[in-house]
Structure 1
Amino acid sequence: MGLTQTQKAMVEKARAAGGSGQAIPLSDDACVCLIGIIARDLGLSDHFPELPSDLPPFFDQREPGSLNISGVEFLPLMERLVKLNPDSDTFFSCLANLHKRRLKYERILQTQPIPTIEQVGPRGLLQFGTISATTLTGLLFWRKWFFDIDNRAGQETGYLFEPIIAHAIGGVPFSAKASPVRRAGDSRKGRQVDCIRQQKAYEFKIRVTIASSGQGRWQEELDFPVDCRQSRYTPVLVVLDATPNPKLDQLEAAFLRQQGEVYKGESAWEHLESVAGPTMGLFLEKYVRDPIQALLNKVSDCLPEFVARMDKDGITLSVAGESMLIRRTLGAADDEVQELPDDASDQIPGP
């Protein structure tokens, strides 16, 4: 039996590049490789004898664009995968979106423009004279370039992290404009919501830190459960790292006062995986939980040695003695978008 029309639409959305000029569509060869990786994850490799048995891991030191298998037709493989596991279509769409974002960020690193002196020159007044003008100019350029690529990483993650968890548990993310959760003080205005599933409105966080981005922003955080309750949704706080601090206690109390639910640390992961079900629970564990936990485990109070160098081959970054090369190419960067787009629910295709 072939794919349903809904499944075909999901697959096509998963492969499509999207509206960004730097976005990259997924080729048949890339999709075939993803099928092989998913089959291995689900213990179904024996059902795909035409695929190599030594596929690389999805997270690998090789460039994301190297994940390709040629000479095999994609759609019959997808049909077979869905027949073997009905939830694998959602698994494929989430993994495909993650792969597209990694491919796009690789292109961003290759094309993000080097700053101009007009952009950074006035900032030099803060440190002029402490080092030579030549050295300070270089420092200003490097600092701005790293700021720019980190800002772009934040934007791409905003389109990825919360939406991918939302779709994995069968929910939908909403921008403020499209959100059914309205502000308690002004019902004409909506609230961005990481995920709505049935009558629950989720707020996802990796960690709540003691430092906040200002009293106004923190009050917004505290008002979220109030807005949810006023809009007849149960507010749900999911904090993946339960490191205790007063801010987390304050936020937890705000959710509980509105008859909300709070899940922290291990209970947060257990909740997400139980709601997602076995197949998508595995996806969350392998492609969200394990990578994030690996990073959290390596957090240190002391920054490691860092060296950046630019030459004709590109930009080489060395951290604690381990290096990576970014091969630079000419190309225009996308216009930056600061907020979740109105079509955020379409970023990761679902049925």
Structure 2
Amino acid sequence: MGLTKAQLALITKARTASVSESGVPLDDGICAYLLAVIARDLELLDSLPEINTDIPSFFGSQSPISLRLDGVAFLPLFERLLAMRADVDTYFYCLAIVHKARLKYERILQTQATPTIDQVGPRGLLQYGTLSPKALAGFLFWRKWLFDIDNRAGQETGYVFEPIIAYAIGGVPYSAKKSPVKRGGVGQQGRQVDCIRDQRAYEIKVPVTIAASGQGRWSEELEFPNDCQASSYTPVLVVLDPTPNPKLHELSKAFIHAGGEVYIGKDAWDHLASQAGQTMARFLDTYVHNPLQTLLREAPLQLPKMTLEVGDNTMLITIGGEKLIIRRNPKLELAPNPDELPDDIDEDTPGL
């Protein structure tokens, strides 16, 4: 039957690396591995004898860069899977987004710049004298490096989380620049929207939080449903964490008052699954819902023991008796350079 131009364009976009120095493109071996994972997820491996059923887990302990399946033709396999199950193209695209983010973060861990004393030195005044100057400087370096990689994780997750949910339910994320939701429903000033599907404008959250300095941002959030209504869209609030708090109650009231819909906790997951359809509901369950629920369930009541060691090209983190080895590459060390939200994130992804 062959692939359509839209499907070929979708594959090209899925394989292309982000514009940052840490971005990693997906070659045929990586893409074939992702298709094998999809076939296993959808219980289609029996129809694909060329794929070994003992393929590594996507969320396994091995480095993401090692996950590949060489010797299997990618495009013919893509065509066969697509003929077996609708939405395999969207499944592949969303899984590719997640995998590229994991590959990119692996590279960030390998290359994130070691702090300089100019960056962290003044902070030492708050603890000067509690340790020797040498030990305190080392502690400041470690603390800043851990802060930097956590900050990068937050940024990268933001570029992945809402878009894959949007695509999974058949919608499109919009940046403020191109958003059809305008402030007050008029003018050129748009509002960033996590997902637009038909005439619904989604705000997707894990928990509802507000920083101490975020009162201005909070007012913006409360105005979002009114801007949607004024722009002829139904505002929809989806909150994945069911933990009640006053801000969640306040935001929910704002959405309901604007003629919107609110889905929280289990209702939120059920709503997303109903919009996604059987195949993409499996994706959301496997790659978003289950990992989040497992982490929440396993969160420790006390901080576990942790040790940090660094060698010439290796960093060893031991936590709760388990070891994480990071292969450092000092020659490629990059200064922090977070991505901007891509201008084309709101463009209709081909085939979706």
TM superposition score category, shorter chain reference? over 0.9
Letter in 2 for 1:63: S
Structure-2 residue corresponding to 1:341:
342
8 A contact 1:237–1:262 mirrored in 2: yes
* Residue 68 of structure 1: aligned partner: 68
Q: Which sits farther off after the overlay, 156-165 or 338-347?
A: 338-347
Q: Deviation of residue 245 (structure 1)? A: 1.3
Check the 8 A contact 1:22/1:334 in 2, yes or no.
no
- Change beyond 3 A, Cα 1:35–1:159: same
Partner deviation per Cα, 1:75-128 (whole Å, 9 max, x = no partner): 100010111112100001111111111011000000001001111111111221
Q: Deviations over 1:153-185 (max 9, x none)?
A: 111111100001000001111111111111229
User: 1:226-280 CA deviation, whole Å, 9 max, x = no partner?
Assistant: 1111211111110111111111111111111101100011110000010000000
Question: d(CA) in 1 for partners of 2:17 and 2:204?
Answer: 26
How far apart are residue 186 of structure 1 and its match? 7.5
Q: Aligned AA for 2:267?
A: S
- Cα distance change, pair 323–186 in 1 and its aligned pair in 2 (3 A): farther
Task: Tell me, in whole angstroms, the C-alpha distance in 1 between the residues paired with 2:262 and 2:119.
Answer: 44
Structure 1: which amino acid aligns with 2:346? S
Supply the distance in 1 between the matched residues of 2:112 and 2:26 (Cα, whole angstroms). Answer: 22
In the TM superposition, 1:172-183 aligns within 5 A as 172-183=172-183
Q: Would you say the 8 A contact 1:199–1:233 is kept in 2?
A: yes
Kindly provide the amino acid, as one letter, of the partner of residue 303 in structure 2: L
Q: Contact 1:314–1:326 (CA<8 Å) still a contact in 2?
A: yes
Q: Give secondary structure in 2 for the equivalent of 1:159.
A: helix
Residue 173 of structure 1 contacts residue 195 of structure 1 at CA under 8 Å; is this kept in 2? yes
CA distance in 1, matches of 2:339, 2:255: 27
Bigger mean CA deviation after superposition, 127-136 or 294-303:
294-303
* Paired residues of 1:94 and 1:348 also in contact (CA < 8 A): no
1:258-316 CA-to-partner distances (Å, cap 9, x unmatched) read 01100011110000010000000100000110001111112344222222111124111
Matching residue of 2:229? 229
* 2:305 matched residue in structure 1: 305
Query: How many Å separate the matches in 1 of 2:149 and 2:215?
Result: 27
Instruction: Give the 3-state SS of the residue equivalent to 1:187 in structure 2.
Output: coil
What is the alpha-carbon distance in structure 1 between the residues aligned to residue 249 and residue 290 of structure 2?
25
User: Using a 3 Å threshold, how does the CA distance of structure 1 residues 350 and 154 change in structure 2: closer, same or farther?
Assistant: farther
Q: 1:194 aligns to what SS in structure 2?
A: strand
CA contact (8 A) 1:164 1:348 kept: no
State whether residues 158 and 340 of structure 1, in contact with CA within 8 Å, keep that contact through their aligned partners in structure 2: no
How far apart are 1:214 and its partner, in Å?
2.3
SS of aligned partner of 1:324: strand
Cα deviation per residue 1:43-97 (whole Å; 9 max; x = unaligned)? 1111210010111211000011111111111110001011111210000111111
Counterpart in 1 of 2:47?
47
Q: Name the structure 2 match of 1:38.
A: 38
> Do 1:168 and 1:276's aligned partners in 2 also have CA atoms closer than 8 Å?
yes
Pair 1:34–1:346, CA change in 2 (3 A) = farther
Change over 3 Å in CA distance of 1:220–1:212 after alignment to 2: farther
1:209, 1:247 within 8 Å by CA — same for their partners in 2? yes
The within-5 A match list for 1:129-148 is 129-148=129-148
How far apart, in 2, do the equivalents of 1:33 and 1:158 lie? 25
| Structure 1 residue aligned with 2:208 | 208
1:349 positional shift = 6.1
SS across alignment from 2:194:
strand
Contact (CA 8 Å) 1:206, 1:240: kept in 2 or not?
A: yes
CA–CA separation in structure 2 for the residues paired with 1:15 and 1:210: 36
Whether the 8 Å CA contact 2:202–2:237 is kept in 1: the answer is yes
Which whole-Å CA distance do the structure 1 matches of 2:210 and 2:221 have between them?
A: 13
3-state DSSP of counterpart to 1:318? strand
Q: Would you say how many aligned residue pairs link Structure 1 and Structure 2?
A: 351
Match of 1:25, as an amino acid?
P
Q: Summarize the Cα distance change of 1:174–1:72 in structure 2 as closer, same or farther, 3 Å threshold.
A: same
**Aligned residue in 2 for 1:24:** 24
Question: TM-score under structure 2 normalisation?
Answer: 0.95
Residues 349 and 259 of structure 1: is their aligned pair in 2 closer, same or farther, counting only changes over 3 Å? Answer: same
The one-letter code matched in structure 1 to 2:342 is P
Tell me the distance in 2 between the aligned counterparts of 1:68 and 1:215: 46
What is the deviation of 1:334? 6.5
Q: CA separation of 1:85/1:262 partners in 2, compared to 1, >3 Å: closer, same or farther?
A: same
Distance in 2, matches of 1:191 and 1:336, equals 25
Q: Which runs of 5+ in 1 are unaligned?
A: none
Question: How do 1:84-99 and structure 2 match up within 5 A?
Answer: 84-99=84-99
CA contact (8 A) 1:26 1:100 kept: yes
Q: Which residue of 1 aligns with 2:319?
A: 319
Change (3 A) 1:339 1:68: closer
State how far apart, in whole Å, the 2-side matches of 1:349 and 1:320 are: 45
